[in-house]
């Protein structure tokens, strides 16, 4: 799938970026509140849950939380990006917020957050979801991930670049998204992307996925 032909005028990436969405005080508050409660992140590939390990597809730590005020604030940005970028997806809900911490050497290799077709439609489970086709939240039953959002909480680190990749015919285009602390990166969840290894310092972000019925 292509990201509807949208290109960011600043960096040429298929991501819509909201600059200065959060001030320094807000960013620091999120970091102080959540950075000590993180656990090892996992990566889901098909029906396999891959645990964190050096050299694996995902090496970082996360914690999940909910925040109604944050939801109301970011919902507006989701609506703006969805319209302005020309995606105009039917959005009906969202997942929990994920606070993510990348220490020196941590990374997340090329991946997609989810497929938007009917094969990725989620079914309810009372158990812990084993893959991206299962969900424990009743309001997300029958939905797929459609729009992903990453709130950049700091920029006093090196490495850790957010990059996207798209195939255009026989050409593979890789773009580095230019974003600073307080910026929000918004993109279709089926877009291939990665976070390069952090080479100095610690990278913090908040990630959330907005959902809706499968694309036809």
Quick one: three-class SS letters along 51-65?
Answer: CCCCCCCEECEEEEE
| Number of domains comprising the chain | 1
Is 2 part of any domain? no
What is the residue range of 85's domain? 19-38+54-163+188-198
Is 139 part of any domain? yes
Rounded Cα distance between 6 and 16, Å, is 8
Is 13 part of any domain? no
pLDDT at 171: 84
Rounded Cα distance between 10 and 179, Å, is 10
pLDDT at 1: 45
Distances (CA, A) of 166 to 3, 4, 98, 155, 169: 9, 12, 25, 26, 10
pLDDT at 127: 94
Is 112 part of any domain? yes
Query: In which region does residue 32 sit, left (phi positive, over 0), alpha (psi from -120 to 50) or beta (all else)?
Result: alpha
The DSSP bridge partners found for residue 158 are 200
CA-closest candidate to residue 184, choices 211, 212, 160, 205: 205
Is 9 part of any domain? no
- HSE-CB of 123 using CA atoms within 13 angstroms: 5
Is 208 part of any domain? no
pLDDT at 2: 47
Secondary structure class of 81 (helix, strand, coil): helix
Is 176 part of any domain? no
DSSP symbols for 10-47: TT--S-EEETT-S-HHHHHHHHHHHGGG-EE--EEETT
pLDDT at 45: 86
Structure tokens at 42: 């996992």
pLDDT at 168: 79
In tens digits, what is the pLDDT along the chain, a chain of 216 residues?
445 589 999 999 999 999 999 999 999 999 999 999 999 999 998 888 899 988 899 999 999 999 999 999 999 999 999 999 999 999 999 999 999 999 999 999 999 999 999 999 999 999 999 999 999 999 999 999 999 999 999 999 999 999 999 987 788 889 999 999 999 999 999 999 999 999 999 999 999 999 999 997
């Amino acid at each position: 799938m292509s990201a509807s032909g949208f290109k960011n005028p600043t960096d040429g990436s298929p991501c819509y970026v909201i600059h200065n969405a959060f001030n320094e005080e807000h960013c620091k508050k999120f970091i102080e509140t959540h950075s000590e409660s993180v656990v090892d992140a996992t990566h889901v590939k098909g029906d396999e849950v891959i645990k964190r390990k050096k050299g694996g597809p995902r090496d970082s730590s996360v914690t999940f939380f909910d925040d109604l005020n944050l939801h109301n604030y970011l919902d507006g940005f989701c609506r703006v990006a969805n319209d302005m970028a020309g995606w105009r997806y039917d959005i009906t809900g969202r997942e929990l917020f994920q606070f993510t911490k990348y220490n020196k050497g941590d990374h997340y290799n090329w991946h997609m957050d989810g497929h938007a077709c009917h094969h990725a439609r989620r079914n309810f489970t009372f158990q812990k979801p084993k893959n991206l086709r299962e969900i424990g939240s009743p309001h997300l039953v029958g939905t797929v991930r459609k729009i992903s959002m990453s709130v950049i909480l700091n920029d006093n680190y090196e490495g850790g670049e957010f990059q996207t990749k798209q195939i255009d015919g026989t050409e593979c285009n890789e773009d580095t998204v230019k974003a600073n602390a307080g910026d929000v990166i918004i993109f279709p969840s089926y877009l291939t992307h990665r976070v390069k290894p952090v080479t100095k310092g610690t990278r913090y972000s908040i990630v959330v996925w907005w959902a809706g019925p499968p694309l036809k």
